[in-house]
Structure 1
Amino acid sequence: MGKVLVLNQDYSALSVCTVPKAFLLVYMNKAEMLAESSSDYLRTVSSEYPSPVVIRLNRYIHLPYRGVVMTRHNIFKRDGNRCQYCGTHDNLTLDHVIPKSRGGKTNWDNLSTACKRCNSKKGDHTPEEAGMFLRQRPFRPSFLMFIRDFSGLADENWLPYLGSRERARS
């Protein structure tokens, strides 16, 4: 079973949850189903229910901050699990684009995915000094961008609520 996009009462993206959790919210009238799967169903002994794909909560949930937590796993996701120098998927580690010894910070804008070979080759230099070039500059993804582009979970039915990639990048 897939994942379900959970929207707040104002139709803003809130989170992603499992199908059983989403169905329970709908069944208990805490949420309404906005989109359902055309092929997956939840079955009981006597009934069959459509599997939710997008639900909207009936009450507004206030969240003070909806950012993407900076973790090793999320940086790898952002970078497509590829070395940002050579493109390999093997032996990945994190690289400080501006080395820590030169004042580089440990943040979204300075951390990049690199294989051990490229990270060792770059050493204590900037990519320019080492003659290496990043495929993509590090950046802080927004919550919506992370769900849409990097989570690998996005369903076609989610796009009206998350925005298309073209609109987000313009």
Structure 2
Amino acid sequence: MSSDGLLQEPVLILNVTFEPMHVCSTKRALALVLSGKAEIVINGRGTIRSAASVFEIPSVIKLSYMVRRPRPRIALSKREILRRDDYTCQYCGRKMRTLTLDHVVPRRQGGSHTWENLVAACSPCNRRKGGKLAAEADMILQRPPFEPSPSAAYRFGTHLEQRQEWAEFIEGW
């Protein structure tokens, strides 16, 4: 891998308490380490050389100071609705990548654009339901919609397949 590609690889940032906070690029992580704002917890990728120095390439860094912030929330988006519903139609149960969003209570009947009113639906089911309630269309939801918990496993779990060394920090939160 070229050094440019290596500098774009993801790095897990931990708070002083070892709480997973964010994922940044290797370049940003190195800048935080070199400025004294963070320290390397796991060097998972070896070293990178400049003309005058050799630097460890971090996989996980820990900030040197406490960052207080409100509890994160998962942003409401189509991608997150599909992820929450495991890319499965909530009416017929078919698993696929090309799904639409359906309002359980249609907007024209006063339904809101919220976590609790949006589900993943395949096109045929979405057309069949149309602007009706599921019961009116003789359809049943597989499970009620909900706002996902902003746990570290949910927020950063997609990285675990490539970054096994992150597991001990993510799964505890």
TM-score by length of 1: 0.77
Structure number with larger C-alpha Rg: 2
For residue 64 of structure 2, what is the amino acid of its counterpart?
N
Structure 1 residues 117, 157: CA separation in 2 closer, same or farther (over 3 Å shift)? Answer: same
Distance 2:73 2:37 in 1: 25
More strand by share: 1
**Does structure 2 retain, via aligned residues, the 8 Å contact 1:78–1:146?**
no
1:68 is matched with which residue?
74
Distance 1:145 1:101 in 2: 36
Distance 1:158 1:137 in 2: 32
1:147 is matched with which residue?
155
Matched-pair identity in %: 32
For residue 112 of structure 2, what is the amino acid of its counterpart?
K
Structure 1 residues 30, 89: CA separation in 2 closer, same or farther (over 3 Å shift)? Answer: same
Provide the alpha-carbon RMSD of the alignment. Answer: 2.6
2:61 is matched with which residue?
55
Give, in angstroms, the shift of residue 34 of structure 1: 1.3
Among 7, 11, 25, the alignment partner of 2:18 is 11
1:159 is matched with which residue?
167
Structure 1 residues 82, 41: CA separation in 2 closer, same or farther (over 3 Å shift)? Answer: farther
Distance 2:132 2:46 in 1: 52
Give, in angstroms, the shift of residue 22 of structure 1: 0.9
Comparing 12-21 with 99-108, which one deviates more in the overlay? 99-108
Distance 1:120 1:82 in 2: 16
Say yes or no: does 1:104 pair with 2:104.
Answer: no
2:31 is matched with which residue?
24
Give, in angstroms, the shift of residue 43 of structure 1: 3.3
Structure 1 residues 51, 136: CA separation in 2 closer, same or farther (over 3 Å shift)? Answer: farther
Distance 1:32 1:158 in 2: 16
The size of the alignment, in residue pairs, is 161
Comparing 107-116 with 15-24, which one deviates more in the overlay? 107-116
Runs (5+) with no aligned partner, structure 1: none
SS of the equivalent of 1:56 reads strand
Structure 1 residues 46, 145: CA separation in 2 closer, same or farther (over 3 Å shift)? Answer: same
Deviations 1:14-38 (A, max 9, x none): 111111111211122111111221x
Give, in angstroms, the shift of residue 51 of structure 1: 2.2
For residue 112 of structure 1, what is the amino acid of its counterpart?
V
